[in-house]
Amino acid sequence: MSAHLTTVAGVPVDTRHWIGGERVASAATFTDTSPIDGAPLAEISRGTPAEAAAAVAAARAAFPGWAATPPAERARLLRAVADGVDRRLEDLSLVETTDNGALLRSHRRGVMPRVAHNFRFFADRLEELEHEDFTTRDHTNHVTWDPAGPCVLITPWNAPLMLATWKVAPALAAGNTVVLKPAEWSPLTASLLADIAAEAGLPPGVLNVLQGYGSEVGDALTSHPDVRRISFTGSVPTARHIAASAAPHLTPLSLELGGKSPLLVFADADLDLAADLAVEQYDNAGQVCLAATRILVEESVAEEFTRRFVDRASRLRQGDPRDEATDIGPNIHPRQLDKIDGFVRRALADGARAVIGGHRGEGQYYAPTLLTDVRQDSEIVQEEVFGPVLTLQTFTGEDEAVRLANDTRFGLAATLVTGDPSRAARVSARLVAGTVWVNCFFVRDLRAPFGGSRDSGVGREGGNWSFDFYCDVKNTVTAPKGWNDHG
């Protein structure tokens, strides 16, 4: 076996970059470890600014040919990538579970099928993309979506391949070329995606994968004058740095930055449903940007809601994510575990009470936690923990519920549970959020816009909104006559 191949869960994975249709090794490496047991998985090529420049150059060289490729052919190749994902679904599931600790059953049944769906959806959307012509004083307006150029896509560690392809698929469908920079804590399935794309027939340089630390290759990518779009999912401080780096070239940005979303439970709600939805927020060990981590319950039903919640939460099984019976796996990295524990310790010292949890487990596991007696202005209520930690507060009416729900600097999502359709409409209209779920959670359709308000991000992707971002939208206005006036 090559020195640059590692075997993860029985699956060979190349640890080098993918640039211009070739594997490229770095002089230095970084160690990728599994959150399941802390064991080292691979030594990954550690990118440098020189390799970042090479990746952008490869994307720039491939852009004219890919942009000129007819939409039907681009769509065919994207569907071929989806077919490759389907064929390797088990490999991708095993590798990603080992690399980031999310449940194997979720990868098999939901996450990896969604990866394939991302490619098929945007292939279909590309072939359907059109805007009805309209007239202005008998002049015809014709709207088109023109490929913008090389795109830099910087993706997070909590759902590595699904969130990467949520960006890669529309960028490629739009006729752009891509430099994908996966998170250093979970880089392995991005490398497998490069193999799948090459096997599907994607031309060299259309998709490039650059591994490494953001602090070492990030600026080289986001400040590059040949980059035409940047899409980033991650933290607010990193987004501010990226925006400053992109500003000199006015490179358009799409930023999805997490949140501190509320779950509002009204007295007329189905409390069993509300408790189920609240416990669902522990999914992926709480490492979900959309998670409704602030539970707001109408005071008159708070005691009964809490009883039902604790009953359900007590049945959750935490352990090895490769076990089909496991409900909650490990947190991604010791540094993230320390961050989560720090939040909880400071909250307890500040007067919060742990109804359940409030402590570490063994290894990289943190006990599912519910904190009450928290102040609205406290750190635990205002800042994103990104772990299995929820808070519970009470309210006495719609106005107070909305005030508490909107009283953070974030605005990614919100969930409300009520038996009154008119209340659902009133409250939804007043919530500051990119997505509002009523009596449900995490129902995602790729036709819908996705993004956040306030510090939860800039812009929307999904459906035609993705093409609006990844393209230069052009309007061509044609006079009704006069073709031969100057002939």
Mean pLDDT of the chain: 96
Selection from 191, 195, 194 nearest residue 183 by Cα: 191
Q: What is the pTM of this model?
A: 0.95
Fold of 262-438: Aldehyde Dehydrogenase; Chain A, domain 2 (3.40.309)
The domain at 5-257+452-475 falls in which architecture?
Answer: 3-Layer(aba) Sandwich (3.40)
Alpha-carbon distances, residue 432 vs 339, 406, 418 (angstroms): 27, 6, 18
34-48, 180-194, 392-406, 473-487 — which is least confidently predicted? 473-487
Per-residue pLDDT at 487: 46
Q: Which residues are catalytic?
A: 256, 289
Q: Phi and psi (nearest 5°) for 3?
A: -65, -20
| Tokens representing residue 163 in the block | 């969130």
Return d(Cα 44, Cα 31) in angstroms, integer: 6
Selection from 98, 35, 101, 32 nearest residue 334 by Cα: 35
Rounded mean pLDDT, 330-344? 97
Domain map (residue ranges) of the chain: 5-257+452-475, 262-438
**2 pLDDT tier (thresholds 50, 70, 90):** confident
Per-residue pLDDT at 482: 66
Return d(Cα 49, Cα 220) in angstroms, integer: 5
- Which pLDDT tens digit goes with each residue over 239-295? 999 999 999 999 999 999 989 999 999 999 999 999 999 999 999 999 999 999 999
**486 pLDDT tier (thresholds 50, 70, 90):** low
- Which pLDDT tens digit goes with each residue over 428-479? 999 999 999 999 999 999 999 999 999 999 999 999 999 999 999 999 999 9
Per-residue pLDDT at 1: 54
